Structure 1
Amino acid sequence: MPHKIQIRLASQRVNTSVSLNQRYPKIFTPGETITAQNEFMRGHGTYEDKGELKASVAGVREQVNNLISVRPLKSRYNGEIGDVIVGRITEVQQKRWKVDTNSRLDSALLLSSVNLPGGELRRRSVEDQHMMRQFLQEGDLISAEVQNVFSDGALSLHTRSLRYGKLGQGVLVKVFPSLVKRSKTHFHNLPIGASVILGNNGFIWICTSIINSEESVGGFIQNLEEVVPRQERETIGRIRNCIAALTQSKMMLYDTSILYAYEESLKYSVPELLIPEAMVDVAILTQHRLSMLEVA
């Protein structure tokens, strides 16, 4: 069966405006006036011009007491201690790994900040340094937690918990860090047959359901030889396309929004979710359900 190829003119493009309804926050563009009142203080992403407070970046207005700032939609990740991240190993150095975490500088994962195979708590020896590439090598994906933030903004990571470690089979989705909602937990075992790690750095990991997190995530074990059933692969692909639909409409990503988007997308096939009309439809229906939940 030949695949359908859809070609659209520029005049037929679908409007993917983030303003799906009036409940969604207003997006300010650079130079747009935020307020003309003088009693407010200028925060990040703003500047003062002729007595008016204006936005210097495109983003959402945030206000704490009299301090007004604009949180940009597109920005590099600025880490905070305790953040859950998904990263990719870029280099193996002496006693440490360099990790791409979508920030301005590569993050550091020290050899002393990981659990060795078997969970042994001991001093790291020269032999451990020689075996670092057997634990983690270039290209490996990991989940970790931010342990410290250096003065230059670089991050120090650790995986001293069984829920952190090397990631096996799955799909990595990259979104704007500002769209990932901060919550108590960023590891979600969804009831639809898949697990999601929502990294604060904008890297989202989708994989099959994690039954025993201590065996499936922690440490350095990978299930690369395991055959993932077709139904589970389709579920992962559908979640990936749902996240892409929500991201296109600048909607916040968390377990409830992803689950609602998945349920609203069931009337489409997985490939059809890449069509702009379907993406907007799923985003609008998801936003409606979320607004109804807030009202209730």
Structure 2
Amino acid sequence: MTTMQRELRLSLNQTQRVRLQSALQQLEEMTSLASAITVVADTIPVNHEDSILKGHGTSDLNGEVVATLCGVVERVNKLVYVRAQRARYKPEVGDIIVGRVIEVAPKRWRLEINFSQDAVLMLSSMNLPDGLQRRRTAVDELNMRSIFVENDVICAEVRGFQHDGSLHLQARSQKYGKLERGMLLTVPAYLVKRRKQHFHHLENYGVDLILGSNGFIWVGEHVDMNGENHILADQVSREDMADKSCVGQVTQEVHERITPLEIRTHICRVANSVRVLSALGFNLTVEVIVDTVEASISLNTDIKDILAAEFYVQTAEREVQRRVSLSRKKG
């Protein structure tokens, strides 16, 4: 049994075990051919006459450039470095991340973002529910819990590291903010590559998919950017909530906006597809995720059976066919 099979902990019969092992071996060979895989102490071939620059994951040993990490050799002009294939998340300015609130502190929220330290979202960096651009007042600070509370899931953007070493976020756009009526998934951050678009609306399923660069993935009911689908309770201030008639209106609105069963079914199907791809170690892109969802539907696979051994094997075999097809088109 291969390492991947042990990690998956699947109950495979003999045929499934052979099929999965064959598919994973083919994928490994394709990856090795597509990129210069190196291990620790491997010599990296370079032209010393070009005055190359040794970057991260490299060292000088007896006049040769050797790798100090397992990964892929990358070259940018004269810079040579090794990119680790299974590195932990390292925030960069502009990253789209998904986090969970763990503390409401004075003028700030503290979030868990799958990093070595927590992130901070300042009240001044937050788009207020009323949508007005103004200075934050003492009343705003008192009403912070009407915006986010502990365990709320939030989408935000990495603003950068401050002078005190803390990681700061910002959420000054309507596309950022609280995420509701959905499911939060955690995957290895290296499976989510940085792209121009991390927000995806899967129209056929009425589902929003947010691929957080930090490895937190959100799958939830589609929300109109104009805010029409937001629950009224998020738009009502603390003072308004004191009015009993308003409370009744909010309660009625919440009941009216319960996520339909069909949408919940689609959310679970997309989420299970992400779990399968993550367990197999495949890069998570919207194209691959949608392809896996559509495959489960075309094969009449129940939602619970997506996590069964046979669908794992079929997904691995389908990935082999996809990569073979891509290589033929390039050729």
TM score, norm. by length of structure 1: 0.83
1:288 Cα deviation (Å)?
Answer: 2.9
Q: 1:128 aligns with which of 133, 140, 144?
A: 140
Greater CA drift, 222-231 or 138-147: 222-231
**Which residue of the partner structure matches residue 74 of structure 1?**
86
**Which residue of the partner structure matches residue 209 of structure 1?**
222
Cα distance in 1, alignment partners of residues 283 and 233 from structure 2: 31
Cα distance in 2, alignment partners of residues 249 and 115 from structure 1: 38
**Which residue of the partner structure matches residue 159 of structure 2?**
147
Q: 1:31 aligns with which of 40, 50, 70?
A: 40
Amino acid at match of 1:161: S
- Whether 1:269 and 2:302 are equivalent positions in the alignment is yes
Greater CA drift, 53-62 or 81-90: 53-62
- Whether 1:251 and 2:282 are equivalent positions in the alignment is yes
User: Residue 69 of structure 1 aligns to a residue in which SS?
Assistant: strand
User: Residue 227 of structure 2 aligns to a residue in which SS?
Assistant: helix
Cα distance in 2, alignment partners of residues 169 and 205 from structure 1: 10
User: Residue 129 of structure 2 aligns to a residue in which SS?
Assistant: coil
CA 19–245 in structure 1, closer or farther in 2 if over 3 Å, else same: farther
1:163 Cα deviation (Å)?
Answer: 0.8
Is this contact kept in 2: 1:29–1:55, CA < 8 A? yes
User: Residue 234 of structure 2 aligns to a residue in which SS?
Assistant: coil
* Aligned residues between the structures: 291
Cα distance in 1, alignment partners of residues 86 and 103 from structure 2: 26
1:161 Cα deviation (Å)?
Answer: 0.6
Cα distance in 2, alignment partners of residues 90 and 105 from structure 1: 12
Kindly report which structure 2 residues correspond to 1:48-87, keeping only aligned pairs within 5 A, or say none.
48-49=60-61, 53-87=65-99
TM score, norm. by length of structure 2: 0.75
1:56 Cα deviation (Å)?
Answer: 3.4
**Which residue of the partner structure matches residue 117 of structure 2?**
105
Cα distance in 2, alignment partners of residues 153 and 246 from structure 1: 35
Cα distance in 1, alignment partners of residues 232 and 36 from structure 2: 41
- Whether 1:43 and 2:52 are equivalent positions in the alignment is no
**Which residue of the partner structure matches residue 114 of structure 1?**
126
- Whether 1:20 and 2:27 are equivalent positions in the alignment is yes
Cα distance in 1, alignment partners of residues 254 and 201 from structure 2: 20
Greater CA drift, 185-194 or 162-171: 185-194
Cα distance in 2, alignment partners of residues 278 and 81 from structure 1: 38
CA 50–233 in structure 1, closer or farther in 2 if over 3 Å, else same: farther
CA 141–273 in structure 1, closer or farther in 2 if over 3 Å, else same: same
Q: 1:184 aligns with which of 178, 196, 210?
A: 196
Kindly report which structure 2 residues correspond to 1:162-241, keeping only aligned pairs within 5 A, or say none.
162-193=174-205, 194-212=207-225, 214-216=227-229, 221=234, 226-241=257-272
Is this contact kept in 2: 1:30–1:54, CA < 8 A? no
User: Residue 262 of structure 2 aligns to a residue in which SS?
Assistant: helix
For the aligned residues, what is the CA RMSD? Answer: 3.3
Gap regions ≥5 residues in structure 2: 1-9, 236-252
